[in-house]
Amino acid sequence: MSKKILNKEQELMQEIGYSQRAIDLYHNKVNMGEMENPTIVTNFFGSCGDFIKLYLEIDKKRVIKDAKFYYLGCPASASCASAMTSLLKGKTIDKAKRISEDHLLEDLGGLPKSKHDCAKLSIRTLKKAITEYEILTDK
C-alpha cells in the first residue's frame, strides 16, 4: 500500500473514532502471526462474522509467556486482538481470566461505538482458549 493510501486510511480511522493507539496496533500488526509450538490454539467467530485465531504459550507455572493471533475482519478486530495479546504476556492464567472488554477498550483509548463488539470477540476467544487449556491440563 502506498504511503498516501495509508495516510488517508489513518485520517478516516481517526475521523470515525479510532484512537492513535488502535490505529498503530492495526497498522503495525502487533503480535500478529503464527506461533511455533503453542501450548494452546483456538479460534472464534464473532457475531459480525469476524474471526480470530489465538495462539498461547503457557509455562508450567501457568504464566502466559507469549501470545499471537491471526484474524479475518475489520481493523477494530485486529486492534482489539493486538491489545489483548499485549495485555496477556507475563500474566498468570488466573489474572488473564479477569481481563475484560472494558480493559481492552481502555487500553485502546478509543474505538467507534459500533466496533465495541470487536473487544467482545477478543475476550470470548481468550475465554475459550483458557477453558480449553484448563481442560487439557485438568486445571
Closest among 127, 106, 125 to 116, alpha carbons compared: 106
Is 73 strand, coil or helix? Answer: coil
Q: pTM of this prediction?
A: 0.93
pLDDT digits (tens, 9 = 90+) for 14-60: 999 999 999 999 999 999 999 999 999 999 998 889 999 999 999 99
What pLDDT was estimated at residue 138? 81
Give, as one character, the DSSP assignment of residue 60.
T
H/E stretch holding 55: strand 51-58
Distance CA 128, CA 122 (A): 10
Other C-beta atoms closer than 10 Å to the C-beta of 42 total 19
Task: Output the pLDDT for position 7.
Answer: 86
Residue 1 has pLDDT above 60, yes or no: no
Tell me what pLDDT residue 74 has: 94
The enclosing H or E element of 6 equals: helix 3-15
**CATH numbers and ranges of domains, the chain:** 3-137 (3.90.1010.10)
Q: Is the pLDDT of residue 2 over 80?
A: no
Task: Give the total residue count for the chain.
Answer: 139
Q: Which of 106, 114, 41 is nearest to 75 (CA)?
A: 114
pLDDT digits (tens, 9 = 90+) for 116-135: 999 999 999 999 999 999 99
- As a whole-number percent, the residues of the chain with pLDDT over 90 amount to 88
Q: In what order do the strands lie in the sheet with 64-72?
A: 40-45, 51-58, 64-72
